[in-house]
Structure 1
């Protein structure tokens, strides 16, 4: 379970801290006006124009079945070439973005659910708390 850099971007969804490999991230932007797309899956909030590129905006709280705690304030935008080029540009609505941190592979456990859920890479143990490491390539816009 190693990524090219073992660096992750930590962010908040509801009351929990999650992270993704920094290799997938191109930018972090404030939530702007979204245009809803008819007949899209429930986790697709809509699309927005980011620097001339139509970007699909996903709500990972719907994907991970997280309650409505917190309010989405930021969008993590993923590199479409790494995150699945058939999807185009994709961003995730998150409550807060914290930091980029280095992860020691020895501190990452494969949780029992990570065997069954492709989107969870594992759980990072740090300072008495857990950070859920997710794989954005496993979440599709369709």
Structure 2
């Protein structure tokens, strides 16, 4: 049986003044940002690494991938499950909520490099992002 949009729950989060979401199946946990160690000559999207219970976690700034202005970096980290052995976290400004998607509110026709679709809500749009494109 294939998975439909109505079977998906997403984590909605804020970057700057915009809302984004990611399929909750990719999310391992949400933690406060710890001390980051910068990596010389790293990809510009990488803020550095931090220790997360003994695991070296690469911290990615999705604002750089999504071409957002960076007024400041977020204080929360969404730790993602990946298909390889890497542990990756995204710096976000704020966690909003977990919501179940509805076929009528999701528009996947606007899919792009890092965008899976748009979720329509009463107060605007939420951009549904692809984690594999943000992670690099």
TM-score normalised according to structure 1 size: 0.86
CA deviation vs aligned residue, 1:44-66 (integer Å, no higher than 9, x gap):
00001111111100000000000
- C-alpha distance in structure 1 between counterparts of 2:19 and 2:76, whole Å: 14
1:53/1:122 Cα in 2 relative to 1: closer, same or farther (>3 Å)? same
1:108 aligns with 2:111: no
Aligned length: 134
Find the counterpart in structure 2 of residue 61 from structure 1.
Answer: 63
Q: Say whether the 8 Å CA contact 1:4–1:23 is kept in structure 2.
A: no
The answer to whether residue 87 in structure 2 is matched with residue 85 in structure 1 is no
Answer whether contact 2:6 2:100 (CA < 8 A) is retained. no
CA RMSD of aligned residues (A): 1.9
SS of 1:138's equivalent in the other structure is helix
Match 2:44 to one of 42, 45, 52: 42
Q: CA deviation at 1:111?
A: 5.0
Cα distance in 2 for partners of 1:40, 1:123 equals: 31
Unaligned runs of at least 5 residues, structure 2: none
4+ long deviations beyond 4 Å: none
Match status 1:132 vs 2:127: yes
Residues 8 and 101 in structure 1, CA contact (< 8 A), matched pair in contact too: yes
Q: Distance in 2 between matches of 1:118 and 1:93?
A: 20
Q: CA distance change for structure 1 residues 70 and 46 in 2, over 3 Å: closer, same or farther?
A: closer
Q: Which runs of 5+ in 1 are unaligned?
A: none
Query: TM-score by structure 2 length?
Result: 0.90
